[in-house]
Amino acid sequence: MGLLSTLKSLFICHLIISYVFLVSGILINLLQVCTLPVWLVSKQLARRINIRLGYCIASQVVAVLEWWSGTECTLYTDPKSYPLYGKENAIVLLNHNFEIDFLCGWTFCERFGVLGSSKVLAKQELAYVPVIGWMWYFLEIVFCKRKWEEDRRLVAQSLQNLRDYPENYWFLLFCEGTRFTPEKHRASMQVAESKGLPKLKYHLLPRTKGFWMTVQNLRGTVSAVYDSTLNFRDNETPTMLGVLNGKKYHADLYVRRIPLELIPEEEKECAAWLHKLYQEKDELQGAYEKTGLFPGPKTSPPRQLRTLMNWLFWSCVVLYPLGLMLTHVISSGSALTIIAAVVVSSAASVAVRWMIGQTEIGKGSKYGNREVPPNTNGSS
């Protein structure tokens, strides 16, 4: 076991994993570009193809979490709701505290068969990130500029485009708008005080306008909201670098299914409903802090071998020509060729480290740090 842990911590292993992800991701992005003419013939066929291509990228990251890191995931939920997961469209509300919360979300998407088709409301800047951002463009991910007057029209149109989506999806919303930090929490609670809203201990105030817009535009298409709370055992603070180093974590996810018809249609009532939900989420988080457990039955949906097989397939596709190239470089004895190979390898390493850096809490957006003027209707 010690030898395996040492192997997982080696830079060369990280470089191989990164190389496979980057090169295969770019190749898949190019295949996605080739689906553009298909849109002119059959939009639904193009969508189905892009779902599979998107899965080829996202499941590589899931494979690293599940098979390389060995991270385990336990689900707490109502047994009556469990059979519906993956069989219906849903809006997922998740707390935003950890660097890898999105990755754990992908893991559960994979285990219920909706990884390739799932959506998220993401900041516009992510659309320009190679591989993931470009993949999201073809998967019709909803991007926002966090400027309400612009997003009111653009986000609504993107959501309307999903009404005829051909396969089941989960639409992920981080209603807090940004990752939780002590600084953002203090600013958020100042806003709560100015608006006369109950203060939260473990969450930021939810941004109600985006939630209301999503619910209104997906009514009749989405069946339920999945109120989800993610934690890690033993007060661990997992990171992408930790996962890449093979560190094993244990995630606990609580999911409560709320039928969409129970959510008010009027904006003001919907905002009040969401604030009440986050007060309940705060109480649930407080209970977990004390007991290390969520209430109700728990289960562990099995990890799927297909994520590992997908990673092995793309590894063979991109590592074989790399091996041939390295053999040629070494046999050539050319100093210039060897230097060029080292430069390319270093550039790949820097690129991956930059992408990992985008997930770090310390590199998160400043959104939520500014104090927002009081709003008398209780929405944000």
Per-residue pLDDT of the chain (380 residues; tens, 9 = 90+): 578 888 888 888 888 898 899 999 999 999 999 999 999 999 999 999 999 999 999 999 999 999 999 999 999 999 999 999 999 999 999 998 888 898 999 999 999 999 999 999 988 888 888 899 999 999 999 998 877 788 888 999 999 999 999 999 999 999 998 889 999 999 999 999 999 999 999 999 999 999 999 999 999 999 999 999 999 999 898 998 899 999 999 999 999 999 999 999 999 999 999 999 999 999 999 999 999 999 999 999 999 999 999 999 999 999 988 788 777 777 766 777 667 766 766 666 666 666 555 545 455 555 555 444 444 333 33
Is residue 216 packed enough to be buried (19+ CB in 10 Å), middle (13-18) or exposed (0-12)? middle
Give the model's pLDDT for residue 355: 58
Q: How far apart are CA 255 and CA 235, in angstroms?
A: 20
Place of tokens 């050319």: 334
Please, are residues 102 and 119 in contact by the beta-carbon 8 Å criterion? Answer: no
Give me the helices (H) in 9-75, please.
11-33, 36-41, 43-63
> Could you tell me which residues come within 8 angstroms of residue 187 by beta carbon, excluding any fewer than 6 positions away?
368, 369, 370, 371
The pair of structure tokens assigned to 249 is 């974590």
C-alpha pair distances (Å), 217 with each of 94, 151, 244, 257: 20, 13, 38, 19
The closest alpha carbon to 172, from 141, 132, 195, belongs to 141
The amino acid at residue 34 is C
Q: What are the backbone angles phi and psi of residue 120, rounded to the nearest 5°?
A: -155, 150
Of 220, 288, 225, nearest to 252 by C-alpha is: 288
User: Are 205 and 192 a contacting pair, CB within 8 Å?
Assistant: yes
Q: For 82-154, list the strands marked E by DSSP.
A: 90-94, 119-123, 142-144
φ, ψ for residue 202 (rounded to 5)? -115, 0
pTM of the model: 0.88
What phi and psi values does residue 35 have, to the nearest 5 degrees?
Answer: -85, -5
Q: Say how far apart CA 70 and CA 249 lie, in whole Å.
A: 7
**CA distances, 108 to each of 43, 55, 131, 248, 346 (Å):** 27, 13, 21, 17, 34
Extract the tokens encoding 112.
């219920």
- What are the helix (H) ranges across 65-117? 101-111
316 contact partners, CB below 8 Å, separation of at least 6: none
Q: Which two tokens stand for residue 2?
A: 């010690």
Q: Supply 167's token pair.
A: 């396969």
- Which residues have a Cβ under 8 Å from the Cβ of 379 and sit 6 or more positions away? 208, 209, 212, 267, 268, 271
Cα-based distances in Å from 19 to 70, 101, 135, 224: 21, 23, 17, 39
